[in-house]
Amino acid sequence: MLDRAAATLIKPVIDRLATLLAAAGMGANQMTLLAFGIGIGAAALVAAGYFLSAAAAILLSRLCDGLDGAIARRTRSTDAGGFLDIALDFVFYAAIPLAFALVDPQRNALAAALLLAAFCGTMSSFLAFAVIAAKRGMDNLAWPDKSFYFLGGLTEATETLVCFVAMCLWPQHFALIASVYAAMCAITTATRIWWGWRAFSAG
């Protein structure tokens, strides 16, 4: 829901950094792997109980994730790079709730499982729509620079980032934050399925 506003806000910074990094020889796939490595490092910090350090690592990871596409547009954008980006993003998103379950299984495991199940809904509806949209040759006018057409929703990357940082700032309330966010993800999944069904039934 907030991705377009967030992207507009940080675009000048992303563009400047991407130009500098591309000129220095940094490739888009290298940045994707760096973002993923930092993100998995953040999950490890959560599992070890270093929550503030994990929050900083999550923010840095997502900054790098925003840079890979911008670098690709300045060098060479490929389908392989787009695939790598989204696949590793989803692994990262799953790693953070899992890490909270590991650090305190008794208090966090059930809520983490609920959130991971909700993520399955948002991710599957996201990718299912992209597959059929690509088959039909649909263009994403809202995000023309993206590798594929996807549906937005109540919970997108920006909301997930805010959720993860909140979990790190108030780890004692992880179960509540995760449960509320899982409910929001369920709404996203339902609206994507409804919208996708309508869009594809019309054809």
Q: What is the DSSP string of 118-162?
A: HHHHHHHHHHHHHHHHHHTT---SS-TTSSS-----SS-HHHHHH
Confidence at residue 1, expressed as pLDDT on a 0 to 100 scale: 66
> How far apart, in whole angstroms, are the C-alpha atoms of residue 76 and residue 63?
20
List the pLDDT tens digit at each of the 203 positions of the chain.
Answer: 665 776 777 888 899 999 999 999 999 999 999 999 999 999 999 999 999 999 999 999 999 999 998 999 888 888 899 899 999 999 999 999 999 999 999 999 999 999 999 999 999 998 898 888 888 777 654 544 555 455 667 888 899 999 999 999 999 999 999 999 999 999 999 999 998 898 888 65
Compute how many other C-beta atoms are within 10 angstroms of the C-beta atom of residue 79: 9
Characterise 155 by phi-psi region: left (phi > 0), alpha (psi -120 to 50), beta (else): beta
Confidence at residue 103, expressed as pLDDT on a 0 to 100 scale: 98
Taking the whole predicted model, whether its pTM rises above 0.85 is answered as: yes
Confidence at residue 186, expressed as pLDDT on a 0 to 100 scale: 96
Confidence at residue 200, expressed as pLDDT on a 0 to 100 scale: 85
- The answer to whether 69 and 85 are in contact (CB under 8 A) is yes
> How far apart, in whole angstroms, are the C-alpha atoms of residue 35 and residue 126?
21
Characterise 196 by phi-psi region: left (phi > 0), alpha (psi -120 to 50), beta (else): alpha
> How far apart, in whole angstroms, are the C-alpha atoms of residue 100 and residue 111?
9
> How far apart, in whole angstroms, are the C-alpha atoms of residue 152 and residue 113?
23
Write down the H helix ranges in 28-104. Answer: 28-48, 51-74, 79-103
1.20.120.1760, 1.10.472.10, 3.40.190.10, 1.10.1660.10: CATH of 3-201: 1.20.120.1760
